[in-house]
Amino acid sequence: MKLKVNGKEAYYTSSGREIDKNQPSIVFVHGSGLSHVTWVLQTRYFAFHGYNTIAVDLPGHGDSEGPPLKTIEEMADWVADLLTALGIEKASYVGHSQGCLVGLEFAQRHPEKLDLLALINGSMSMKMNTELLDLALNKDQKAVDLMMDWVHGPLGHKGGHPVPGLSHLGMGGQLVSSNNDGTLGADFNACDKYTNGETAAKSIKHPTLCIKIVVLHKGSCHCKAIEFEIDSDLEKIMQCNCSICIRKNAKMIMVPKSNFKLLKGKEDLSLYQFNLNLAEHFFCKHCGIYTHHNRRTDPNGMGINLGCLDDVDPLDYEAGLNDGRKLS
């Protein structure tokens, strides 16, 4: 559906339902280079469960008239103006990635229009890689390719879409390519320049849900006697310099114990402990590979050998330092 916002044509979808002023409303705001298509499943669900759903195309995206807006602040004001044009006094806000920055700013600048706030895979700032930013500003297709690789990771290249014949990389690349006429560069630049996230977050008084999407990874020792799976975003990767870790020299992904599931081989694990006998280091009895350990400094946390994950090349990841030497 289309309407005029600040004199420009703006597109949104309501999943084919008319706006009912007696129902609560949810506005969905997409990420960089994307459009309302991002929300097709979510909007359909809520539209048929008692909500007005408004999934927008920000200016210059999808079917909304350009040019793209240059700052996160302008985008937040535009969302407020859109709701005013629709006659909606207050709405819940759902944002993804760049849409989270817009949501933070919307909450600070227009609190009277906000009911609830939900932020998916966002942060308070999004500094861009300078090479990627330059490629996007120059409308280079390589910017889209790099974005798809970064967003979907190594696993995305292997398929895995729940609908046979569809590809996450192919669909995402096609969608972002349609906005690679300067819009993607404008979005990246707006994210890179935005600095008010922490201040905006501190000002929020509304109920807020932050969702971080993690991926299920399967792993094993070398001989496959031990198999496991973890839920992880592969962000907290460490190497430890304690007396045992310096010898095994493994990059480790840190996860809560609740995110780890041993699928096979409990009887094939060998336990090694030393010093205070608090940490528990597990190895395969047959091939000798270190698979995981229960941490001494965090009773609820585990370290997983990054090299044991089936879909991950540990050489692709940099690791921070866990200074275990000082605990010895």
Can you tell me which residue has the tokens 């390589």?
Answer: 142
The per-residue pLDDT for 155 is 64
Nearby residues of 128 by Cβ (< 8 Å), 6 or more positions away: 188, 189, 191, 192
- Report pLDDT for 173: 84
pLDDT at 53: 97
Any idea of the CA torsion for 153, 117, 254, 328, to the nearest 10 degrees? 140
Query: In the structure, what pLDDT confidence band is assigned to residue 223 with cuts at 50, 70 and 90?
Result: very high
Options 3.30.70.260, 3.40.630.30, 3.40.50.1820, 3.10.180.10; CATH for 2-211 is 3.40.50.1820
The predicted pLDDT at position 163 comes to 64
Q: Which pLDDT belongs to residue 214?
A: 75
Interhelix angle 98-109/183-193, nearest 10 degrees:
60
Extents of the domains making up the chain? 2-211, 216-327
Q: What is the mean pLDDT of residues 228-240?
A: 90
Position 160 scores a pLDDT of 63
Please give the helix or strand (H or E) that residue 163 lies within, else none: none
Spatial CA neighbour of 187 closest among 126, 110, 142, 140:
126
pLDDT of 233 = 82
Of 294, 291, 318, nearest in space to 307 by CA = 291
- For range 291-306, the mean pLDDT: 92
pLDDT at position 308: 96
pLDDT at site 175: 84
Report how far residue 273's alpha carbon sits from residue 18's, in angstroms, rounded to the nearest whole number: 64
Q: What is the third-level CATH fold of 216-327? A: 2.170.150
pLDDT higher than threshold 90 for residue 236? no
Torsion of CA 106, 37, 170, 188, to 10 degrees: -20
β-pair partners for 255? 302
